[in-house]
Amino acid sequence: MLSVPERMVKDMTAEVLQELVASLSGKDKAQITDATVLRSVLQGSLGRVRLEGALRYKLGVSNPKAAQASTFGNLCRLLGVAGLNGTSPEAAPVQDLQPLAVAVAQPGAALHGVHVGIDVETIAALPEASDYWEHDFYKSTFSPREIAYALLQPSPRATFAGQWCAKEALRKANPALANAEWTSLEVVHDPSGKPQMTVDGTPAFGALSVSHSADVAVAVFVAADSAVQPPTPEPQGTVNTSPEPQGTVNTSSAAPARGGRKAYALALLALLVAVAALVVALLHR
């Protein structure tokens, strides 16, 4: 949904948007034309989120589809202003937002249909800020709780980079969250300090690992399509009196063993992914 305060409509022109995109991309204003491909100048999803934040807090525009525009001309069209050449170029098809779908953690459940998401980002790619609470990017990307947590850490910017990677890793592991608001994907910590992901306050079913060096942050999220509840145990005090034929296997006792093997396999998968993430992070230094 597009929300534009009336006082902003007369002030928002293609030239104003041109200056905004130029400042975010580090380009000269003259280099931004209607045909400029936003992906090339905004450098990936981090740049797109910075654009969303700047539109929201500098121009008062909130449009989830704006960051999906392929070119600067498409961006103008989506925001209801004429392009730099005075025309309104046709907007590229944009996928409508879909309802969020997230598996919810259930005590005692086992993972089924495992998916892995990983993201690596240089800490320097995040914008510098004198006040993280008021900076467009940070307040449009991180919840107040995440900002407060990061500011209590020795290196807030590195912590923000880790939180950003965690959000991206979750989105990669669960494509249904591709259009979710960034602030609705939140990194929280249990009493021991272990991080986990929530979606609109609901725990996301899976496991999260976040780390960073002096230069690079990395996060891995192992998610599941659904939760499989363990079988209901037999009431205590009952005894199976029927004899079993020789050579047969008691399947009720074998089930936990299979569950244990699945748990070990999942743990090994998570370990291998984490090792791969660390290798990638070191290669990016």
Both tokens of 132, joined, read: 């993280």
**Rounded to whole angstroms, how far apart are CA atoms 18 and 28?**
10
User: Domains in the chain, start-ordered, CATH in brackets?
Assistant: 6-78 (1.10.1200.10), 110-230+254-283 (3.90.470.20)
Q: Ramachandran region of residue 197, left (φ > 0), alpha (ψ -120 to 50) or beta?
A: beta
CA distance 118 to 124: 19
Q: What is the pLDDT of residue 31?
A: 87
Torsion from C-alpha of 41, 43, 49, 52, nearest 10 degrees: 10
Calculate helix-pair angle for 144-151, 156-173, nearest 10 degrees: 140
Do the beta carbons of residue 165 and residue 218 sit within 8 Å? yes
Distance CA 50, CA 121 (A): 15
104 DSSP assignment: B
User: DSSP readout, 119-173?
Assistant: EEEEGGGSPP-S-TTT-HHHHHHS-HHHHHHHHTSS-HHHHHHHHHHHHHHHHHH
Q: What is the pLDDT of residue 52?
A: 79
Measured torsion, CA atoms of residues 155, 160, 163, 169, in degrees rounded to the nearest 10:
-110
Residue 148 near residue 114, CB atoms below 8 Å = no
Tokens 């025309």 map to which residue? 87
3-state DSSP assignment of residue 211: strand
Residue 23: other Cβ atoms inside 10 A: 13
Query: What pLDDT is stored for residue 243 in this prediction?
Result: 52
3-state SS class at 187? strand
Rg (CA), the chain: 24
Choose among 172, 235, 232: nearest CA to 206: 172
Q: Which residue is associated with the tokens 């609470």?
A: 133
Global pTM reads 0.60
Per residue of the chain (285 residues), what is the pLDDT tens digit? Answer: 334 443 344 467 888 888 888 888 788 888 888 888 887 777 667 777 777 778 877 777 776 667 677 888 888 888 888 888 776 544 444 444 444 445 554 444 444 567 889 999 999 999 999 999 999 999 989 999 999 999 999 999 999 999 999 999 999 988 888 888 899 999 999 988 899 999 999 998 888 999 988 899 999 998 866 544 444 555 555 444 445 444 443 433 344 444 445 555 555 566 566 666 666 655 655
Helix, strand counts (H, E) of the chain? 9, 6
The pLDDT of residue 239: 47
Please tell me the number of Cα atoms within 13 Å of 48 on its side-chain side.
20
222: its two tokens: 């192992």
CA distances from 279 to 157, 160, 162, 214, 218 (A): 22, 21, 16, 15, 10
The predicted pLDDT at position 272 comes to 64
Would you say 50 and 86 are in contact if contact means Cβ atoms under 8 Å apart? no
Neighbours of 41 (CB within 10 A): 18
The per-residue pLDDT for 119 is: 92
What is the model's pLDDT at position 174? 87
